[in-house]
Amino acid sequence: MEGPYGSEWPEEEKVKRREMVDHEAHYVFVHEVANSNADGMTTMLTAADSSTCCLKNSGPLVGFVQFRFVLEEEIPVLYVYELQLEPRVQGKGLGKFLMQLLEFMAQKVI
């Protein structure tokens, strides 16, 4: 994940930080782990709420998605606030998979 970007960041940083720790914020974290059945690497998804979650022996974080379930004018909605992936895992369908996962979750929860 890259650092802050854009000239508007200093003004938006406080708002973003509040959004990140809001009690309604939910996350899916993507870690890279060694694949014992192959020479390559594979990714592992972990879901967590706004509380801290630690996994033993989890590899480096390669992406995450932040989302919320909200009621907007009495209609349940799932909002995606952030979806970020390391450049080396981009273009492999992981972002699309995460969006499909959120759509599936929304259909089940809402």
The pTM of this model reads 0.71
DSSP string covering the chain: -----STTHHHHHHHHHHHHH-TT-EEEEEEEEE-TTSSSEEEEEEEEESS----TT---EEEEEEEEEEEETTEEEEEEEEEEE-GGGTTSSHHHHHHHHHHHHHHHH-
Residue 9 inside a domain? The answer is no
Q: Each residue's pLDDT tens digit in the chain (110 positions)?
A: 555 566 766 778 788 777 788 888 999 999 987 765 554 556 565 655 444 555 666 789 999 999 999 999 999 999 999 999 999 999 999 999 999 999 999 998 86
Give the structural domain span for 84: 20-109
Res 47: pLDDT: 58
Res 40: pLDDT: 53
Which CATH number do you get for residue 77?
Answer: 3.40.630
Number of domains in the chain: 1
